[in-house]
Chains A and B, each alone.
Chain A
């Protein structure tokens, strides 16, 4: 069976060729990565527009079939397939929106993150942060002495923005590699590490690892690793 971890290498190949090419499978991967990563990842714009197109086509097909009324069985099955894809799409978009809600100020001022958002997400983030800004100003900041009225800084003597909530990138995540990876730099590992003699770490294909997100961030972005 595809996911049986026995003879992992071989079955993964079969699995990939059988199913990884469908956009739903790619969406599922994007959904899992987005769900597991502490920070917002790059918006999968091409994938999402392809999936939306397919959903629309399928909605039309289901409509047609059900008005024909001669094959209720296959209509109900097509509907289930549609529902599953819609759930993935909604959940993917929703997790991103929730991350934006949580870290809007940080995303807004960090170019790298900002560029990961879709156009609509950018609009949302802009509106949201100006709303929250206004809320904080009216409720708290306008009532404080003038040197202490910044949303981003504790007071005017703060040199950097020291009031902005950020995602914790040193959180531990679970990941699985798609290929043999070597030379992973473990961030800030204790110097006398006994378990791994060097700070360079390797990962066999298909084996699960719990690891600090910061160390593998780049591998997630380049698509070499999947989060679970």
Chain B
């Protein structure tokens, strides 16, 4: 119980991931005139009609909702680019490095709030869906390759959402490997002192038996 809830502390919820992604910078084309905004999180603007400027995604969406700008989708969100990425993802077991860490959240936010600013939006959406699936399948295959020798895992180019999905699994699996594969550690007197919390520790073995 106590050990498990550590995971709770370390997991980012979907809302929190979205919150983090909302700080990514995008280009917008304002249609209003407004002086600079001196936020705690930084200075943005000034805003002049038809002059491209860079703002965080949350601000872009807020302006868009109020009808004050259009959003330029990031370069990777085009049919051409995404088709290349999909092909690359299918051709290799490696994860492509062409997409940003928060590609899932960014694209979802833009689909929800700026659909009319994305050329070929249906195609873009289905390409991203396909890419997600291919990538996720690869992650699963990678996980199968884990074994008891794995004490640290390098994960190249995994996105935030993918990380979140595999995190609980990898965390627990590595921990279990780590414990099972190091029986020599058990009698070590040094380790006795930093064993799991004892008050709450009456059924720790059960976890390992699964």
Whether chain A touches chain B in the assembled complex (some CB pair under 8 Å):
yes
Report A's interface with B, CB cutoff 8 A: 1-6, 8, 18-19, 22-25, 28, 32, 35-38, 51, 54-55, 58, 73-74, 76-78, 80-82, 84-85, 87, 95, 98-99, 102, 154, 160, 162-174, 186, 188-190, 192-196, 201, 207-212, 215, 228
What residue of chain A has the Cβ atom nearest to residue B197's Cβ? A165
Which residue, of A36, A154, A172, has the highest number of chain B Cβ atoms within 10 A? A172
Cβ-closest 9 pairs across A and B: A165-B197, A81-B39, A211-B152, A210-B153, A24-B41, A4-B100, A172-B171, A3-B100, A189-B151
Given A22-B42, A77-B62, A208-B158, A188 contacting B152 (CB threshold 8 A): no
Report B's interface with A, CB cutoff 8 A: 2-3, 5-6, 9-10, 12, 19-20, 23-26, 34, 37, 39-42, 58-59, 62-63, 66, 68, 74-76, 97-102, 148-158, 160, 163, 167, 170-171, 174-175, 178, 181-182, 185, 193-194, 196-200
Chain B residues with CB under 8 Å of A76's CB are 62
> B198–A58 contact, CB under 8 A?
no
Q: How far is the CB of B190 from chain A (nearest CB, A)?
A: 10
Chain A interface mostly: mixed
Given A74-B34, A85-B40, A170-B175, A35 contacting B152 (CB threshold 8 A): no
> A208–B156 contact, CB under 8 A?
yes
> A98–B9 contact, CB under 8 A?
yes
Taken together as a complex, chains A and B put the C-alpha atoms of A155 and B116 apart, in Å, by 70
Q: How far is the CB of A16 from chain B (nearest CB, A)?
A: 13
Chain A residues with CB under 8 Å of B171's CB are 171-173, 210
> A211–B102 contact, CB under 8 A?
no
Chain A residues with CB under 8 Å of B197's CB are 164-166
Taken together as a complex, chains A and B put the C-alpha atoms of A170 and B98 apart, in Å, by 33
Q: How far is the CB of B100 from chain A (nearest CB, A)?
A: 4
Chain B residues with CB under 8 Å of A174's CB are 163, 167
> B40–A80 contact, CB under 8 A?
no
